[in-house]
Amino acid sequence: MLNTLTTAVRPSVAVDALATVPLQFFSGDFITLAIAFFVLAIVAALFGARGIAGLSMEIAKWLVLIFLVLAVVSLVL
């Protein structure tokens, strides 16, 4: 009985499971998020929510700029 418990919970299995988890929590799809915020801005503008539309466009603009900078850096390196 003790042998089956110790083999069921081996520390190496937990370490192997943690090793397969990527350290990056966000995939980095800035262009996808920018498109989503752009669509949100269009929908908000259609419903007359100018504040939300403007904020969404600002977020989309910054995400596109970040995407472009990272794309250029990755091409150069």
Res 26: pLDDT = 52
Residues 6+ apart with CB under 8 A from 59: 34, 37
Res 14: pLDDT = 53
The pLDDT profile of the chain, 77 residues, written as one tens digit per residue, is: 555 555 555 555 555 555 565 545 556 677 888 888 888 899 988 988 888 889 999 989 998 898 888 888 888 88
Res 32: pLDDT = 84
DSSP string, 5-47: HHHHS-HHHHHHHHHHS-S-SS---HHHHHHHHHHHHHHHHHT
Res 7: pLDDT = 53
Whether the full predicted model's pTM is greater than 0.85, yes or no, is no
Res 23: pLDDT = 47
Site of tokens 């995939």: 27
- Boundaries of every domain in the chain: 28-77
Q: Sign of the CA dihedral 4, 10, 13, 25?
A: positive
